[in-house]
Amino acid sequence: MGLNNDESRSTEAISSQRLRSQRIELSVALPFEISSEMALTVDSGSPPQSHASNTATVASHFVSLSTNTRETDVPRTTQQFLENELKRTRTEMEHMIDENQQMRKVLSLMTAEYNALYQQLVTTVALQQQQGKTEKFSQLSQVPLATALNVEVVQGNGQRASPQRSFTEHSSHSAGSERSRSATPTGSAQVSSRSPGRSKHGDKQTSPLRVKLEDDTNQKIIVQALPTVMPMDTDKAAVNMFRAYKEESSSQAIDASNPSESPELGFASEARESASQDEPSVAEQLEQNGWPPNKRMKSVLQDTSVRNARVSVRTRTDAPTMNDGCQWRKYGQKLAKGNPCPRAYYRCTVAPGCPVRKQVQRCAEDRSILTTTYEGTHSHPLPAAAVAMASTTSAAAGMLLLGSTSSSDRAEGLGSDNSFNLGTHSMPIISASAPFPTITLDLTNNPAANQMHLDAANGNRQPYTFSMAQNGIQMHAPSMMAPVQSSYYGAAKPPSGTFQMYSGNPLMVQFQGGNTARGPQLLADSVTAATAAITSDPNFTAALAAAITSILSSQPNNQLAATNSSSLGEALRGALSSHGLPITAAKKDTASRST
C-alpha cells in the first residue's frame, strides 16, 4: 500500500505512550469510585482539550493531590479524570478510524482484484461451456490441457510469431520487464472473446477466449485459452498469465471487466451480454450444468470431456474422509466388487452445479488406508483450504489429459524451450477413447507404496512414478522419454537441500535433502526449487505439482501445509503462467531461503 508506514508507526507509538502514561497516572490517582451521575455532569460541561495539555493537567493534579486536602480536590479530580478518560477515548477512536480507513483501502483493493478475477472466471466458464456445446468430444480431446494456454506474440504489423517462439519471446519480454520494470510502465490488457463455432471465420481449433496484453511497445501478447475439459484450469492459467504480465507492466485495465461492479453485477452483465448475442445466458448454461435439475446434470456427467480424468489419493487415516477443504455431500454408497468396504460417493457442494465428485473407499488389505478419488474440476472459487488439493487434482488430471492427445498437437502447442522440451514428441500416446485414466498418489507411510502412479486404460502407456522416500521425492518418467538437458539448473548452484535433475533414460528428478533433520523447511525448499525447475515441461509440471501439492496438504503439521501450499501455489502459478520468469523468481526464493 502506498501509505506512509513510518509516519503512522511513529504517531502510533507516541499515542500509545500517552495512553500508557495516562493509565499509570489514573491507576494511582483514582482514590474513589466514579458515579454515573458525576460522569454525566462532567462530560456535559467539559470542553475538548488537546492531548498534551490533558496529560499535563492530570500530571499536575496528581502532584496536587499529595499537597492539598482531599475534601476540596475530589470534585476536580473526578472532573479531570473524566476529561482525561474522554480524551483517551477520543484518541482511541481516532486510531480506530485510521485503522478502519486503512482496512477499507485494503478491502477496496482486494474487492477490485476479486471482481476482475471473477469477471474473467465468469467469462471463461461461460465461453467454454458454449464451446462445449458446439464441439464434439473428439475435438476436445485433441486439445491438451497444457496447451490450452497458448501464447502468441502479435507483432506490430499483425504477424504472429510461431508458438515456439512466442513463449520464448514472452519469457524474454517478461525478463526484460523484470530487469527494467520502469521501462514499460504502461500497458493495457483486454479480454476479448469470440465463439469460434459461431464466428464467421469459424476456426474451431482456435480459442473462445483471448486475453490481449498490449504494452506501449506496440507488441501484443495474446493469452489464448483453448477449450479444454478443465475450465478452471484454463481460466486460472489465463488469469495467472494475465496477472504475471499485469505485475510487470503495472497495467490493470481490463476491457472486459468492470472492477466497480460487484461480482453479482458482473455476472449479470455477462449474462446480458450473452443474451444480447442470441446465445444462452450464463445463468441458463450454469443451470444446464447444475444439479438441479438432475436430468441435466446427468447429461453433463455423461460428457466424457468433463469426466475422463481422475486423481486418486491414498492416505493413511482413521477419519471417514480426507479433509481437503471443500464441502461435500454424500449422495450414494455402493459395495464394490472385490472390496468388502463400501465405496462412498460425494459431490462438491461449495457451489451448485460444481461437477467435481469424489469417491472414498478403504483399502481391503489395509483398512487404515483411505483412497479418495477426485473427478472433475471445480467451477467456482475455492476456499483457501481447498486450493492445494484442487490444484492437485487439476494438475494431475491435466497431465493425464495432456497425455491423451496427439503428438502433433503437443508439438504445436507445447514447444517453449528446447532445453526442456521433454516428451513433447516422444510421449507415448494414449488413445482418446481410453476411459477414465487415473493418476494415483500414494501417500501412505509404506515406503514401498510411497509412489504416485500414472495409469491409463491403455496398457501401452508407461507410468510416471513419484516416490516419496525419507530424504526426498523421486520422479521416474517413462523410459521412452527423451533425454533431458538440464541446462538451467546445471549452471545453478544447488541449495543445501540439493536438487538434481538427471539426464538419460529413465529420467529421474530427485529432491534430496542433505540434512533430513530440516525436514519440513527442506521439503518446502525442494518443492519450490523442483517445481520451478521443471515448469518448462507441462508434462512434468502437472504431474509433479500434483504429487507435491498432495504431499504437502497431507502433512500433519497444518502450519507446514499452509506455508508450503503458499509457496507451491506460487510455483504452480509460474508453471501455469509462463515458461520463463517464474522459474527465476522461484529459484531466487529457494536460494535465499535455503541459506
Instruction: Please report, as ranges, the residues that interact with DNA according to CB under 7 A.
Output: 291, 294-295, 297-298, 301-302, 327-334, 336-338, 343-345, 349, 357, 359, 435
Could you tell me the smallest distance in angstroms from the CB atom of residue 397 to DNA?
15
Whichever of 194 and 343 has its CB closer to DNA, that residue is 343
Task: Please report how many Cα atoms fall inside a 13 Å half-sphere around the Cα of residue 101, on the Cβ side.
Answer: 7
Residue with cell 498534551: 52
Whichever of 328 and 489 has its CB closer to DNA, that residue is 328
Could you tell me the smallest distance in angstroms from the CB atom of residue 434 to DNA?
10
Whichever of 133 and 330 has its CB closer to DNA, that residue is 330
Calculate helix-pair angle for 282-289, 70-134, nearest 10 degrees.
80
Whichever of 242 and 374 has its CB closer to DNA, that residue is 374
Could you tell me the smallest distance in angstroms from the CB atom of residue 345 to DNA?
5
Q: Can you tell me whether residue 334 is helix, strand or coil?
A: strand
Separation of alpha carbons 159 and 155, rounded Å: 6
Of 216, 164, 157, the C-alpha closest to 189 is 216
Query: For residue 506, is the peptide bond before it cis, meaning its omega torsion is within 30 degrees of 0?
Result: yes
Q: Can you tell me whether residue 223 is helix, strand or coil?
A: strand
Whichever of 353 and 495 has its CB closer to DNA, that residue is 353
Could you tell me the smallest distance in angstroms from the CB atom of residue 319 to DNA?
13
Could you tell me the smallest distance in angstroms from the CB atom of residue 302 to DNA?
6
Answer for the pair 153, 170: CB distance below 8 angstroms, yes or no. yes
Whichever of 167 and 374 has its CB closer to DNA, that residue is 374
Answer for the pair 87, 158: CB distance below 8 angstroms, yes or no. no
Task: Go through 532-553 and write b for each residue having 16 or more CB atoms within 10 A of its CB, e for each that does not.
Answer: bbbbbbbbbbbbbbbbbbbbbb
Whichever of 186 and 333 has its CB closer to DNA, that residue is 333
Inter-CA distances, 564 with 2, 311, 465, Å: 29, 21, 22
Could you tell me the smallest distance in angstroms from the CB atom of residue 197 to DNA?
24
Could you tell me the smallest distance in angstroms from the CB atom of residue 351 to DNA?
13
β partners of residue 311: 374, 439
Could you tell me the smallest distance in angstroms from the CB atom of residue 314 to DNA?
16
Whichever of 33 and 365 has its CB closer to DNA, that residue is 365
Separation of alpha carbons 549 and 35, rounded Å: 62
